[in-house]
Amino acid sequence: MISGAAQADIGVLVISARKGEFETGYERGGQTREHVQLAKTLGAAKLLVVVNKMDDHTVNWSKERYDEIESKMTPFLRSSGYNVKKGGEQSTLVKVQKLCLETEIRSTSTPRTFLPISGLVGTNMKTRVDKSTCPWWNGPCLFEVLDSIEVPLRDPKGPFRMPIIDKFKDMGTVVMEKVESGSVLEGDSLLVMPNKAQVNVLSVYFDENKVRCAGPGENLRVRLSGIEEDDILSGFVLSSVVKPIAAVTEFTAQLQILELLENAIFTARYKAVLHIHSVVEECEIVELLQEIDPKTKKPMKKKVLFVKNGAVVVCRIQVNNLICIEKFSDFS
């Protein structure tokens, strides 16, 4: 799930409407909560919540059950950083960078966060649910919502960044992941960071097709020369030579504490596992620098020694090995 979410712009969270199953996933420590937090942390900017099994005999397309799930999930989604919306349509002109070609598409955005379906029989997935089945639903079907979601804008002319999630040997070293910034062409010279190995691009593949170049947002396989497969780890970044990505063992970050283990407090020397793009590293909190007031969004004056659930805190984080990260201000 983590590797998939790291490559996604949009997540689809499937929740069971069956009595007992939703409650099990939503309770503290449940998979529903965990998946929402992982999706947000790993970069899925938008989340669509699909309420499945609406045809189950314990539900029978009940509006009361659907509303109950929506009312419980909405505060949690908002606390996790998602913008929850209901209904409405708007027409938007979106400029899309696709394989180095710029095109404009007309997108009808339906900013719904929740919708009911039956995955078993396909109800409200490809076509809208019939009124005889669900008289209270006036919204779109799943495919309509997916087709209407706007493509996130990225900079095809920015410094090249492609975090590496996997690699293998095939007439050279092949690396895989999504391009986050910039474009890549056959024959380009790039750096593999953080080990600063200079490599040449032998070929670029989008899906199963060989292409001359590719832009941001594409999931690619890039064949390289100048480096061995064993010299690349998941979490390394294929980077521009002119403006390489920074490699550090210590950095300052603003964190929102969503959920700590029972009776735990977040303080200096707290240890955790850090996920940034395709990096997975053990880390330690070196120092808490400032707590952010949730109402004013400004730093509080008091010295902070520890924080609990719901707090927003600026702290210094240390890892054992070099990792590649960007300054937030460079891409905000």
Structure confidence by residue, pLDDT tens digits, 22-34:
988 888 777 888 8
Residues 19 and 143 in one domain: yes
Does 163 score more than 50 pLDDT? Answer: yes
Residues 232 and 259 in one domain: no
Residue 321: band (very low, low, confident or very high) from pLDDT cuts 50, 70, 90: very high
**Stronger pLDDT, 284 or 154, i.e. the higher one:** 284
In tens, the pLDDT along 261-294 reads 777 889 999 999 998 888 889 999 999 999 998 7
How many residues comprise the chain?
Answer: 332
Give the structural domain span for 264.
Answer: 246-331
Residue 258: band (very low, low, confident or very high) from pLDDT cuts 50, 70, 90: confident
Please report the beta strands in 244-325, taking only residues with DSSP state E, as ranges in sequence order: 246-256, 266-267, 271-276, 279-292, 306-307, 312-325
**Stronger pLDDT, 49 or 44, i.e. the higher one:** 49
Average pLDDT over residues 213-227: 92
Residues 143 and 226 in one domain: no
Average pLDDT over residues 127-149: 93
Is residue 266 in a domain?
yes
Residues 51 and 100 in one domain: yes
Residues 177 and 114 in one domain: no
Is residue 166 in a domain?
yes
* Structure-block tokens of residue 149: 């979601």
Residues 76 and 100 in one domain: yes
Is residue 287 in a domain?
yes
Is residue 288 in a domain?
yes
Cβ neighbours of residue 6 under 8 Å, at least 6 residues apart? Answer: 42, 43, 163, 165, 178, 275, 277, 278
Position 108 scores a pLDDT of 39
Is residue 156 in a domain?
no
Q: How many domains does the chain have?
A: 3
Is residue 70 in a domain?
yes
CA separation for the pair 185, 181 (Å, rounded): 13
Is residue 275 in a domain?
yes
Q: Is the dihedral of CA 324, 326, 331, 332 positive or negative?
A: positive
Position 220 scores a pLDDT of 92
Average pLDDT over residues 40-58: 86
Residues 71 and 184 in one domain: no
